[in-house]
Amino acid sequence: MLTIVVVLYREKALRSLNKKLNLVLPALVAVAFGLGLNSAYADEPKGQHDLVQPAASHPNAKPGVPAPVKVSSPGGYGHSEGLEYAKTPEYKQEFDKAIQSAKVHCVDFMKANPNSLNKAIISDLDETLLDNRPYFQDVKKDFTWADFEKWVFKAKAPNLPATAEFLKWARDQGFAIIFLTGRPENMRVVTTANLIKNKVAYDGLYMRGDDDKRPASKFKAEVRKKIESMGYKIVVNIGDQESDLAGGFALDGEKLPNKLYFVQ
């Protein structure tokens, strides 16, 4: 008799617990999504939800947003010049030198600040991590926003291996990896898809508002200032344009080679 009473009591308690979990778990999931805990392909998400901007206001984002900044091909820049230069030993040497310098700065910072929990790296995307040479090889002409937009929406850009390896190494050392790109918000979904496809782990992705026409240097410097105001220390800022690095708010800036186009 006593055994039956104990079994009935346990079953009643389990039903009560299941009922509570059914009520609580959906609420917890909703809170998590509301906080933006969506670092893409983050095998160890840091929960830095304030590093993730809200998703684009148009859920079915499509091409059609005007070019956010002026992209030009001054003397020495262009489709042919950029593709040919990327085949040269000079390009590889310049690229590898910048990546090695970035790594040295990270190591030096860790030695001087062994207990740091707020160290971060800011990285541009196009021609810094994502390689758009397949687009230029296909269109066989200088940069145009309309053509580039079509390419981006394919989410097919491969990684530049040296940068991908450096960012993976840095994240393994405890650096937050934050992408800061001039791509507009209507490209967020396809940009995230491209990064996931390339198995890139990161902790934040900052993009331009669709109507943001600030110069690249001003936009990016203001975002870096905002990130540092959160308490992060930007140890390395890496990009392929001078405008990626201008304006400060980083201990070190590394310029990667790119003669395909120039962002003003």
Length of the chain measured in residues: 264
Cα end-to-end span (Å), the chain: 84
Q: pLDDT value at position 14?
A: 44
**Kind and range of the H or E run holding 120:** strand 119-123
DSSP SS3 for 252:
strand
Distance CA 29, CA 2 (A): 40
For residue range 191-203, what is the model confidence (pLDDT) as tens digits? 999 999 999 999 9
Q: pLDDT value at position 9?
A: 42
Q: Per-residue confidence at 16, pLDDT binned at 50, 70, 90?
A: low
Return the higher-pLDDT residue of 201 and 36.
Answer: 201
Mean confidence (pLDDT) of the chain: 82
Lowest mean pLDDT among 39-43, 178-182, 201-205, 213-217: 39-43
Query: Across the chain, which distance is largest between two alpha carbons, in Å?
Result: 94
* CA dihedral of 30, 208, 155, 101, whole degrees rounded to 10: -110
Q: Per-residue confidence at 40, pLDDT binned at 50, 70, 90?
A: very low
Q: How many CA atoms lie within 13 A of 116 on its CB side?
A: 21
Q: pLDDT value at position 178?
A: 98
Percentage, residues of the chain above pLDDT 90 = 67
